Amino acid sequence: MKKIQIQSELDVYDDLSELPKDAHELMLAAFDARDAAYAPYSQFHVGAAILLDNGEVIKGNNQENAAYPSGLCAERTAIYYAGANYPNAVIKMMAISAKAKNKETLTPIPPCGSCRQAIAEYEVKQKQPIEIFFMGERGSVFKSDSLQNLLPLLFTQEYL
C-alpha cells in the first residue's frame, strides 16, 4: 500500500474590492441573481453568474420546491442555461455568492458536490479550465483557477 497526497491551491482576496474588474462585475451579477433566488424553505439564497467567451453573462439562482429533490442549485441553473442556449461558447469564469436569511454569511461558500460535477463536465467538454470565484454575502473571496482544485478526482466520460 502507498498513500497519495492531493493538494488544491486557491487565491484568497480579502474582499470584493480586490478582485480584477471582470471578476468584480461578474460577482455583482451573482449578487443580483442571489437576491432573486427562490428559497422559501431553506432561506439560503445562492446566485451564480457565468462569463462566456462571446461576452454574454448568464445568471442563475437556486430554485427550491416543496418536493425537495425537484429544486436546483444556482450553479447548475446557470451552467445548464448556458449549455442549452450557447452550446459552442466557452465558459471563461463563474462567480458564486450565498446569503442566509437567518444569519450573516461571511465564509466563502463553494459549489456543492453535484454542482462541482456539472461544472467539471463543461470544463472537460471545452478542454479549458473555468475560473471560479466564490464568497458569502460579504468578506473574503476564494478563487480557483480550475474546477479540478475543488474536485481533484474527476469522474469523466473516460470511465464510461
Which residues are part of the catalytic machinery? 75
CA proximity to 46, closest of 133, 120, 136? 136
Where helices occur in the chain by DSSP H, the ranges are 21-35, 74-85, 113-126
CA proximity to 96, closest of 144, 156, 55? 144
Rama region for 125: left / alpha / beta (φ>0; ψ in -120 to 50; rest): alpha
CA proximity to 46, closest of 81, 115, 97? 97
Decide: 9 and 3 in contact? Cβ < 8 Å: no
